[in-house]
Amino acid sequence: MPGSKATSSDTVARTQRYNTVSMVESISPVQGLHGVVTVPGDKSVSHRFAMLTSIAEGESLIHNYSTGADCQSTLACMQALGISHEFKEVDGQRVLAVHGKGIHGLQQAAEQLDAGNSGSTIRMLSGILAGQSFTTKIAGDSSLAKRPMKRVITPLSQMGAHIEAVEGQFPPLTIKGSHLKAIDYELPVASAQVKSCILLAGLYANGETIVREPIVTRDHTEIALRELGAEITVEPRIVRVRGGAPLVAKTLFVPGDLSSAAFFLVAALIVPDSEIVLAGVGLNPTRTALLDVLRCMGAAIKLLHIQQLNGEIIGNLEVRTSRIKGGVIEGATTAAVIDEVPILSVLGALSEDGLVIRDAAELRVKETDRIKTIEDNLRRMGVEVRTTESTLEIPGKQKLRGATIDSFGDHRIAMAFAIAGLAAKGATIIQDAEAASVSFPEFYSILKQIAR
Ligand code: S3P
């Protein structure tokens, strides 16, 4: 059993304490994982629904909104811009009601906005803020203060916004909104956040904004815009949105987060005698490269009860302990599994032939420099790993040794190494374990529930 100190009732308090108190989790090897797991609502979809329903006309109901701190940051920002929301019970479920005020309904915030740890919040919301008739300052925590923003500043400036940033590229951003002009923009870096930022700004531009992407990235913004009535057309790697069209409030459902499910998928693969079901997980094809990679490596994963809701595909994943071969992840596949690299690295060490991950320079500018934080923590567990500026190479058939892990405040590092602890010899201590709350506050309590 993982020797968790926290219970599920701690999760709210833990989220509130995030960044102030350091929590430690102790994880011990387990005999097997069994049960049905429901992961929180998808983080990417939740951000988009919160922003778009705020600028839609009327009350929208959002089912299964992410419980993670990042998505609460987005709601708090929208509230500071004059959009109220509340959580209410509908048929025994917690549902978010957002009182949208239309595309021109935001008001100037009294103070600077706080995006917390959330790159999605600051980058996507910048697109909306660029189209306002007022100035907004938006900041975040110490991790966010180091993340590159030039990728949104450049296109938004071309559209006519005026943006100040630290050293021209880091938060806080001061965004002076303007009447925007439509642009035809080719993304230099494959990024769904940047694509979305430009599409959201495009809602405020006169004419048709076009975004061209080098490879297909997650398309939740395009799907949500279509659901809410925007004028949007999508061809492979080219998205067009026309400015000025109103968005209409709607009842929406957020699928479970596949990137959160990834931790339990890998846990069930590596802990002997495990079989779990992950229920109601988002299976949007722009997100499921993880499943292809895992299956190629030998994972026994079944997809069941597939359905479509609000343009997003949802289903159950049944997974059981499997012999994992190993593999190479590169090019567009690396981009498509970029959030899952921490947990895939753990799997790589336990695989037969090891795992090589190439073309992963973007990992250097995530919540932490993940090439460094993965390497550091794998070494703490006695695992051999080689890295370059953009690659991780983890030989297979390695034994994990229980160790003291540092999450470095990164949610996915905390959770990946908690899972590693299940398959290690001896106890593993996760320092700054509360970082998991950024996307998955229930993570440790669910782990405790399914462990035998
Ligand atoms: C996200 C896109 C990805 C991903 C992030 C969420 C999104 O980032 O890593 O966790 O919701 O659009 P990039 O756009 O920087 O690739």
Digit-coded pLDDT (tens) for 314-330: 999 999 999 999 999 99
What are 46-85's pLDDT values in tens digits?
A: 999 999 999 999 999 999 999 999 999 999 999 999 999 9
Distances (CA, A) of 138 to 119, 165, 300, 329: 11, 10, 44, 35
Give me the pLDDT at residue 16, please.
36
Tell how far the Cα of 46 is from the centroid of ligand 1, in angstroms. 13
- Cα–Cα dist 25/39, whole Å: 20
Tell how far the Cα of 43 is from the centroid of ligand 1, in angstroms. 10
Give me the pLDDT at residue 1, please.
41
Q: Could you give the domains of the chain? A: 8-42+255-450 (3.65.10.10), 43-253 (3.65.10.10)
In contact, 198 and 183? CB cutoff 8 Å: yes
Tell how far the Cα of 194 is from the centroid of ligand 1, in angstroms. 9
The residue whose CA has the least distance to atom 10 of ligand 1 is 339
Q: Which of 141, 339, 406, 410 is catalytic?
A: 339
Tell how far the Cα of 192 is from the centroid of ligand 1, in angstroms. 6
In contact, 170 and 139? CB cutoff 8 Å: no
Beta bridge partners of 101: 57
Give me the pLDDT at residue 410, please.
98
DSSP string, 282-320: E--TTTTHHHHHHHHTT-EEEEEEEEEETTEEEEEEEEE
Give me the pLDDT at residue 21, please.
61
Residue matched to tokens 């405790």:
448
- Cα–Cα dist 29/447, whole Å: 12
- Cα–Cα dist 83/43, whole Å: 20
Q: Three-class SS of residue 273? A: coil
Amino acid at 183: I
Q: Does the beta carbon of 191 lie inside 6 Å of ligand 1?
A: yes
Tell how far the Cα of 223 is from the centroid of ligand 1, in angstroms. 16
Q: Three-class SS of residue 38? A: coil
- Cα–Cα dist 82/278, whole Å: 37
Give me the pLDDT at residue 12, please.
32
E-only strand ranges, 21-146: 25-27, 34-37, 56-63, 85-90, 93-101, 113-114, 135-139
The residue whose CA has the least distance to atom 16 of ligand 1 is 191
Q: Note if 339 is an active site residue.
A: yes
- Cα–Cα dist 268/341, whole Å: 17
Among 138, 246, 237, 142, residue whose Cα is nearest residue 192: 237
Give me the pLDDT at residue 275, please.
98
Among 4, 6, 129, 27, residue whose Cα is nearest residue 417: 27
Residue matched to tokens 């320079």:
361
Number of Cβ within 10 Å of residue 111's Cβ equals: 7
- Cα–Cα dist 218/311, whole Å: 13
- Cα–Cα dist 209/200, whole Å: 10
What would the two tokens of residue 202 be? 């495009």
| Interior angle at CA 107, CA 103 and CA 108, nearest 5 | 130
Mutation to probe ligand 1, out of 74, 258, 338 (largest number of atoms < 8 A from CB): 338
> Looking only at Cα atoms, what is the longest distance across the chain?
61
3-state SS track over 400-452:
CECCEEECCCCHHHHHHHHHHHHCCECCEEEECHHHHHHCCCCHHHHHHHHEC
Give me the pLDDT at residue 22, please.
81
Mutation to probe ligand 1, out of 42, 187, 193, 199 (largest number of atoms < 8 A from CB): 193
Distances (CA, A) of 174 to 51, 111, 122, 161: 19, 12, 11, 10
Give me the pLDDT at residue 17, please.
36
Q: Does the beta carbon of 193 lie inside 6 Å of ligand 1?
A: yes
Mean pLDDT per 10-residue run, the chain (452 residues)? 33 37 91 97 98 98 98 98 97 95 98 98 98 98 98 98 98 97 97 98 98 98 98 97 97 98 98 98 98 98 98 98 97 98 98 98 98 98 98 98 98 98 98 98 98 93
Give me the pLDDT at residue 14, please.
35
